[in-house]
Amino acid sequence: MTTEKYFKGDVFHTPTDGKLEFLEDALIQIDSSGIITKVTKKGDIDYQSACEHADNVITLSKGACFLPGFVDLHVHAPQWPQAGIALDEPLNVWLDECTFPLEAKYADTAFAQTVYEDLVAQLLARGTTTVLYFATIHLEASFLLAKICVEKGQRGLVGKVVMDDSQANPDFYRDASTDAALQETEAFIQAVQGLAESAHQGVYPVVTPRFVPSCTDEGLAGLGALAQKYDVHVQTHCSEGQWEHDFVQERFGKTDTEVLKDFGLLKEKAVMAHSNFISPKDGDLFIEAGAAVAHCPISNAYFANSVIPIKRLKDQGVTIGLGTDISGGFSPSLYDNIKQAVMSSRMLEDGVDVRIEQSDRGVPDSRISVVDAFSLATKGGGDALRLPIGVIKEGYAFDVQVIDSQCKDNPLPDFGVFTTPEARLQKILYLATMQNIRQVWVQGKKVHEK
Ligand code: GUN
Ligand code: FE
């Protein structure tokens, strides 16, 4: 009995950063564990015979195509009920008055179950196949989120959040003590690694200090040691806004990046949300450590007090992916964040204040293209997490979204004018909605269908 499966259709992806590759009517072969074993392109000498010999083929209809599933590098799962709420407040007020009271509710696992099941389904329906999640300080509800990812077929990387400084956090929402925070983090790592044994698409524990201001020195050092001991992923917020950047500088006399490095938290498989204020020297520390930036452009428009120079950091060699930052970012869609990443970069390049001469108004050479942003949402995410995802090629997981550009509810007609592959992808990235996302597959399993 054959265990292979085949898929046939047009493919858009960026196997090299920012460089679009279009494969017309490619034949994609996957094995029984959902890994791509071969991609045969029209024009390859064995294309005709490969197509004739393939059985079990799922062939896309005219006007449909495969995109890699999106990788969301920064989601606060418990904040899903808060999406779109109180965004007029500065970050610290928003956190204290809205977010922390909400996150405290996840002591109740029934509430957690309702929210987390909805969120995971909503993200899958928007083409997001892998997510790096902050949960809350609660061990039980954090583990529940990992279980829900496994059940729904999403590749989840989940962290129990640590906020162990009793001076910095409200009594109603903080770890009982530094020791308790570290013990629970270790128990969480072990529990998720146990769960991973039966998770087809993988599930991963993540060491998750909320951010430097909410943790003690002992807490940060202990988390760095755990990250090393178990060789697991790390996530936190780094130099997000002016307040955080200045706070860390005052407390340690160093940048956020330097502090995270000193505590052993800037490492391979570490993803630092935002990182808007990092200097070129900090960028070098990211590169040396193998750490990555999660760029969250919608959230940054509200809370960052700045626009991150993505182009400069990318040119420097920093690994960067994209995040929604639900709910600092109101949208659960990486499509929306792709657009915002492009728009923010354009505003950085041109500048915004017309009282300043045009020649001095912006930051030259800052813009990124929509293909660059698509690349961040796919390959960039895979590179950041050090997982074989985000590209449709041999050895990678078959994580895809099937986009239908001719669906009744939101057709994307080109009127026979803009028919090049580049134009077709641009139209999808700018105009596709959930209606166009026909199917979503994670590691060879269908996890969403419209
Ligand atoms: N910094 C610390 N916690 C948070 C959070 O929940 N959201 C954002 N955007 N920044 C943070
Ligand atoms: Fe965040």
The answer, yes or no, to whether residue 207 has pLDDT greater than 90, is yes
Angle among Cα 348, 354, 358 to the nearest 5 degrees reads 65
Q: Which pLDDT band, with edges at 50, 70 and 90, does 4 fall under?
A: confident
Which residue, judged by its Cα, is nearest atom 8 of ligand 1? 328
Domain identity same for 347 and 399: no
Are β-strands 161-162 and 203-209 bridged in parallel, bridged antiparallel, or unpaired?
A: parallel
Closest atom of ligand 1 to 241 CA is 10
Handedness of CA 264, 266, 267, 273 (dihedral sign): positive
Domain identity same for 256 and 159: yes
Q: Whole-prediction pTM value?
A: 0.98
**Ligand 1 close to Cβ of residue 256 (< 6 A):** no
- Hey, what are 113's tokens? 């179950």
Name the nearest CA neighbour of 132 among 323, 362, 316, 354. Answer: 323
The answer, yes or no, to whether residue 1 has pLDDT greater than 80, is no
Over residues 8-17, the mean pLDDT reads: 98
Is residue 157 within 8 A of residue 130, CB to CB? The reply is yes
The answer, yes or no, to whether residue 363 has pLDDT greater than 60, is yes
Q: How many CB atoms lie within 10 A of CB 294?
A: 28
Residue ranges making up the domain that contains 198: 70-385
Over residues 294-312, the mean pLDDT reads: 97
**Ligand 1 close to Cβ of residue 299 (< 6 A):** yes
Q: If you measure from the C-alpha of residue 303 to the centroid of ligand 1, how many angstroms do you get, rounded to a whole number?
A: 9
φ/ψ region of 317 (left if φ > 0, alpha if ψ in -120 to 50, else beta) reads left
Q: Which pLDDT band, with edges at 50, 70 and 90, does 426 fall under?
A: very high
Domain identity same for 203 and 126: yes
Q: Which pLDDT band, with edges at 50, 70 and 90, does 48 fall under?
A: very high
Domain identity same for 349 and 369: yes
**Ligand 1 close to Cβ of residue 277 (< 6 A):** no
Name the nearest CA neighbour of 379 among 365, 360, 362, 393. Answer: 393
Of 346, 366, 385, the position where a domain reaches its end is: 385
Of 360, 385, 410, the position where a domain reaches its end is: 385
- Render pLDDT for 137-178 as a digit per residue (tens, 0 to 9): 999 999 999 999 999 999 999 999 999 999 999 999 999 999
Domain identity same for 151 and 247: yes
The answer, yes or no, to whether residue 119 has pLDDT greater than 70, is yes
**Ligand 1 close to Cβ of residue 328 (< 6 A):** yes
Which residue, judged by its Cα, is nearest atom 3 of ligand 1? 210
Over residues 102-126, the mean pLDDT reads: 98
Domain identity same for 43 and 157: no
pLDDT at 191: 98
d(CA 78, CA 389): 25
- Hey, what are 440's tokens? 């979503």
Are β-strands 437-442 and 445-449 bridged in parallel, bridged antiparallel, or unpaired?
A: antiparallel
Q: Which pLDDT band, with edges at 50, 70 and 90, does 56 fall under?
A: confident
Q: If you measure from the C-alpha of residue 270 to the centroid of ligand 2, how many angstroms do you get, rounded to a whole number?
A: 15
The answer, yes or no, to whether residue 3 has pLDDT greater than 90, is no
Closest atom of ligand 1 to 99 CA is 6
Over residues 98-115, the mean pLDDT reads: 98
Domains: count for the chain: 2
Q: If you measure from the C-alpha of residue 238 to the centroid of ligand 2, how many angstroms do you get, rounded to a whole number?
A: 10
Mean pLDDT estimate for the chain: 97
Closest atom of ligand 1 to 76 CA is 6
